[in-house]
Structures are given as C-alpha cells and as structure tokens.
Amino acid sequence: MNQSTGVRCAFHPDAPALTYCSRCGKALCKSCVVRLSSGNYCARCAEQPEAGPAPARPSFMRWVLVGVVLLVLSFLFRALFR
Ligand SMILES: [Zn+2]
Ligand SMILES: [Zn+2]
C-alpha cells in the first residue's frame, strides 16, 4: 500500500526495496535479494559472500607520498629563497 514513498530497489526503480545488501548496502527488491545464511545480499555480492568488505588500505604509502611531496616542496622553497 505504501508504494508512493520509501526506498526503491537499486536495480529496479519501480520496485520498493524490502531490505538492503549486507555487504554493499544497496537497496533490494524481492526479486533482487539473495538470502544466505549470513544475511541478505544482492546478486553480485552473493556470488562472493566470503570475501567480506574490502580491507582498509594501509595509509602508509599515502603518508610516504605526502612526505616525498613535502620534501620536494622544501627543496623548491630553498632553491627559490636562497
Ligand atoms: Zn551487494
Ligand atoms: Zn530489484
């Protein structure tokens, strides 16, 4: 009855969402949801439920990059204001 409002399926804009994918969080209608023992998933996530959410990428490399950039900048400043 409440078809005018509410969340719609991520794949079917016309269909109301019944649940959300436990992994990617997409809204799923009843024809899209795949029920597994570990929860409700979209078709794509249901194919690889064991993978789990992507592990947080270590920020170490990012900080190394920042350090290199700062080093280059400091050299530039030294060259400019010598
Ligand atoms: Zn999913
Ligand atoms: Zn759907």
Yes or no: say if 32 and 9 are a contact pair by the CB < 8 Å rule: yes
Residue 70: other Cβ atoms inside 10 A: 10
User: What's the pLDDT at 56?
Assistant: 65
Which ligand has the nearest atom to the CA of 33? 2
Q: Distance, CA 29 to ligand 1 centroid (Å)?
A: 12
9 in Cβ contact with 16 (< 8 Å): yes
- Separation of 64 CA from ligand 2 center, angstroms? 43
Domain boundaries, the chain: 1-49
User: For residue 7, what are the contacts with CB-CB under 8 A and spacing of at least 6?
Assistant: 16, 17, 27
Average pLDDT value for residue range 52-76: 83
pLDDT in tens, 11-38: 999 999 999 999 999 999 999 999 999 8
Grouping H, G, I as helix, E, B as strand and the rest as coil, residue 15 is coil
As residues whose CB is below 5 A from the ion ligand 1, the structure lists: 21, 23-24, 42, 45
pTM of the model: 0.53
Report the pLDDT value the prediction gives residue 52, as an integer from 0 to 100.
53
Ligand 1 centroid, distance to 64 Cα (angstroms): 33
- What is the structure's pLDDT at 15? 96
